[in-house]
Structure 1
């Protein structure tokens, strides 16, 4: 597939990196020549220095015969005009735009994106994606990562194992014997910084970061067995009143459960804007690293704190201070994945990677065939793919044990009709079944080939 990525910043970089590793023909456009030099030297992509919205630049990038354009520059307006030019001049079949301004995202004005107006097929808002990820963490405070699949029937849980975990030093094959009615399966383990798909004889150890698929009804029991009983967050402190913090506060205010929320914002103008936009949330103007302002926010009695400023170091240190003050759950927004190694020493419970959430969102619209959803794990270490089995697939009519799954992949759930099943060796895969597959990034192309996901079904 030929793709043009406009913008060589963090979002564009991650998209280009992911697409290029899957052997797509990727060209990156950015008006910063230094960024273009850096990305072409680091990734297997072509680069064009210039304004993405200029027709002659898109022409040089190969827009006349490209399959898709992803407009992810720092300017909403440039992204919108780029999609318009791609449609009107080059008839690019699929156009994805990254938009940040709340006004552009308001459903009241969504009619603007019709093909006869401003032809954008998919609008991606990284800030909204990050806010949604943060809210998922709050709803599942015992897990460091979580995502739902098959229309909410199955949940992926990221659980860090402590000494009170009941399954420590137990071979995975014995879990089904010990907990015969538990519908949960371990699909991934990160140990000593390396993520792998465990075998049935593998054991779990203290400190392992495990990824578990569980049926919705068994999520709470799964968390208890893995030593992470569920607690609801009723008092929340947010550090940072930017787009992400504001969106989180708005959704907490409008939620069914009443959550008492406070926001700490260092910039006075931004704090005043947040105070005007919110109804019940208390906005404090001050530094999230200041012990006095933390005390004013009653961090010691808060159930959770989210640090979502645009500075990773501030987020990490604010979480460390909150944890030291007695806050049981702290979540940090971290743009640089290399900083996640500081989580354990600082006592941080969970992190949100904006690039990973944005990539996951965009991948849902890039995949071919019957793929229904894609979720990126960690720093693009693995993917969870939800796909419907087609009649022509090589796996149709076979039992799970007879299918040559790539070594770094595992089936986490199978839905037949409306019924969710945990996969076993004698589970038969039929046409129309929905599979949820955990696969290391290197194995994703093999999994897609197994599912016969190709341009023929695009």
Structure 2
């Protein structure tokens, strides 16, 4: 595909890097010459310097031949105008824009062909809020992904000493929890992906990705690590879009929530908006304030301000003062691994979360969702099978007959309301949702092509 990316920030650069490895023709537009130079040297892509909301810049960047435009600058207005110009002047088929302002998002009528013709809106704050909420709902999980309208979940868990299946083969799941269907999708051991089989032995510190029906996830996690009590008391540092929306979600689920916000106006707004959340005006890195608010009895301290350093420092302080778990929103990729190797339990990467949201709309074929695993090292796709044996490479075939690329495996097949875990006898039928793990993203185009409907495949 010919794809034009507007914005060479962290999200735009990560998206360009991901798409450039998949046989796409990528052009990145940005006003910053230094960012563009870095991308040209690092990736096999074209770049163009300029303001992408201006018609002459889009024309010079060859938008007229683009299949898709993805606008992810830091300005909502530039993103929206670029999509509007691309449609009106160049009839670009697919327009995707990152829009952050709630003021715009609350008026969906703005985004139509008669107004601002954007096909897909990506709201990073909404994606981040949902991501953090899922972590709160699944104590001990490193990542929680929903598939097939939340019928099935894939969860990442770190194997801990004391877990029932430590030093056991994967096949022992069947003996430990015989009434639960579970499939171990992948194991990351010392940073390397392993596609496990029944003989694979689970070791301490393995990062294990398991998939099962939603109602069984907690019992599956209990086999791999020490069962954590459900979280109840939550403290949020930062009352911006993410912090405010997260508090709103949590208080509805009967969590006890406190939110610390330094800006008096924002704190006042939150106090009026939230019903059961205690809003505190102050600095989340104030040791006296944290102690006063009983930080040692907080189950999760979550720092989600716009300042990486403030998030990291306040989370470290909260952990030292006794908080059970601490999370920090970290924008800089170079900080993420550094942070998680220290006393902070989890670094939340907005760019990886946003990238997953974008990729589902970039992939070809009927791909419902795409999720990046291990900070983008691998991906899980949910794709819908269409056609019949004459028009499809997958419909009517058993899983063992599929010619999947190396490092790929089917995690589950969802047939209507039934979740079917992989076995050689499972036959893919039309409208099945097939969930596929790929340890090497270079093979994504192969998967896309497999599920595209055409004539004369047999």
TM-score of the pair, normalised by structure 1: 0.93
Distance 1:100 1:297 in 2: 31
The equivalent of 2:29 in structure 1 is 29
Shift of 1:278: 3.2
Question: 1:337–1:379: 8 Å Cα contact kept in structure 2?
Answer: no
Q: 1:171 to 1:405 in 2, by over 3 A?
A: farther
Question: Greater CA deviation, 261-270 or 85-94?
Answer: 261-270
Distance 1:279 1:174 in 2: 47
The equivalent of 1:319 in structure 2 is 315
- Deviations 1:301-340 (CA, angstroms, capped at 9, x unpaired): 1121111122333323322322232222222212234433
Question: Greater CA deviation, 437-446 or 135-144?
Answer: 437-446
Q: Does 1:292 align with 2:288?
A: yes
Aligned pairs for 1:343-354 (under 5 A) are 343=339, 345-354=341-350
Shift of 1:197: 2.6
- Deviations 1:85-139 (CA, angstroms, capped at 9, x unpaired): 1111111111111111110111xx2111111111111111111111111111111
SS at match of 2:375: coil
- Deviations 1:363-417 (CA, angstroms, capped at 9, x unpaired): 1211222211111113211111111122233233222233332231111111123
Q: 1:275 to 1:39 in 2, by over 3 A?
A: farther
SS at match of 2:376: coil
The equivalent of 1:96 in structure 2 is 96
Q: 1:453 to 1:188 in 2, by over 3 A?
A: farther
Q: Which sections of structure 1, spanning at least 5 residues, go unmatched?
A: none
Shift of 1:273: 4.2
Distance 1:39 1:453 in 2: 35
The equivalent of 1:408 in structure 2 is 407
Query: Among 244, 247, 250, which residue is 1:246 paired with?
Result: 244
Q: 1:193 to 1:336 in 2, by over 3 A?
A: farther
The equivalent of 1:450 in structure 2 is 450
Alignment RMSD: 2.1
The equivalent of 2:191 in structure 1 is 193
Distance 1:284 1:346 in 2: 28
Distance 1:317 1:48 in 2: 38
- Deviations 1:46-96 (CA, angstroms, capped at 9, x unpaired): 111110000000001111111111111111111111111111111111111
Q: 1:291 to 1:189 in 2, by over 3 A?
A: same
Shift of 1:453: 7.1
Distance 2:352 2:340 in 1: 20
Aligned pairs for 1:111-130 (under 5 A) are 111-130=109-128
SS at match of 2:382: strand
Question: Greater CA deviation, 4-13 or 175-184?
Answer: 175-184
Shift of 1:173: 3.2
Q: 1:176 to 1:336 in 2, by over 3 A?
A: farther
Question: 2:157–2:224: 8 Å Cα contact kept in structure 1?
Answer: yes
Distance 2:194 2:261 in 1: 40
The equivalent of 2:150 in structure 1 is 152
Question: Greater CA deviation, 261-270 or 410-419?
Answer: 261-270
Q: 1:192 to 1:340 in 2, by over 3 A?
A: farther
The equivalent of 1:39 in structure 2 is 39
Query: Among 195, 203, 209, which residue is 1:211 paired with?
Result: 209
Distance 1:51 1:453 in 2: 39
Aligned pairs for 1:50-449 (under 5 A) are 50-106=50-106, 109-229=107-227, 231-253=229-251, 255=252, 257-343=253-339, 345-390=341-386, 391=388, 392-440=391-439, 441-449=441-449
Question: 2:365–2:448: 8 Å Cα contact kept in structure 1?
Answer: no
Q: Which sections of structure 2, spanning at least 5 residues, go unmatched?
A: none
Question: 2:29–2:49: 8 Å Cα contact kept in structure 1?
Answer: yes
Question: 1:220–1:230: 8 Å Cα contact kept in structure 2?
Answer: no
Question: Greater CA deviation, 371-380 or 43-52?
Answer: 371-380
Shift of 1:26: 0.9
Distance 1:182 1:328 in 2: 30
Distance 1:298 1:278 in 2: 21
Question: 1:143–1:350: 8 Å Cα contact kept in structure 2?
Answer: no
Distance 1:306 1:315 in 2: 8
Distance 1:134 1:83 in 2: 30
SS at match of 1:144: strand
Distance 1:277 1:39 in 2: 43
Distance 1:453 1:380 in 2: 28
Shift of 1:437: 0.9
Question: 1:146–1:156: 8 Å Cα contact kept in structure 2?
Answer: yes
SS at match of 1:229: coil
State the number of aligned residues: 451
Q: 1:181 to 1:279 in 2, by over 3 A?
A: closer
Q: 1:274 to 1:44 in 2, by over 3 A?
A: farther
Question: Greater CA deviation, 287-296 or 212-221?
Answer: 287-296
